[in-house]
Amino acid sequence: MGKYLKLTHVVYKCGYHIVFTPKYRFCILTGHIS
């Protein structure tokens, strides 16, 4: 499993390349998932 990195309004999960920004309520999928 990947490691979670938390910033002010961003949680980034390494390994899946998913960036979720709860402030603006949208999810960005990149890499093999999108």
E-assigned strand segments in the chain = 4-6, 11-13, 18-21, 26-29
Q: Model pTM? A: 0.20
Around Cβ 19, how many Cβ atoms within 10 Å?
16
Rounded Cα distance, 24 and 31, in Å = 22
Question: Residue 1's pLDDT is what?
Answer: 46
Nearest by Cα to 27 from 10, 8, 5: 10
Question: Residue 2's pLDDT is what?
Answer: 56
pLDDT tens for the chain, residues 1 to 34: 456 666 666 665 555 555 555 655 555 566 555 4
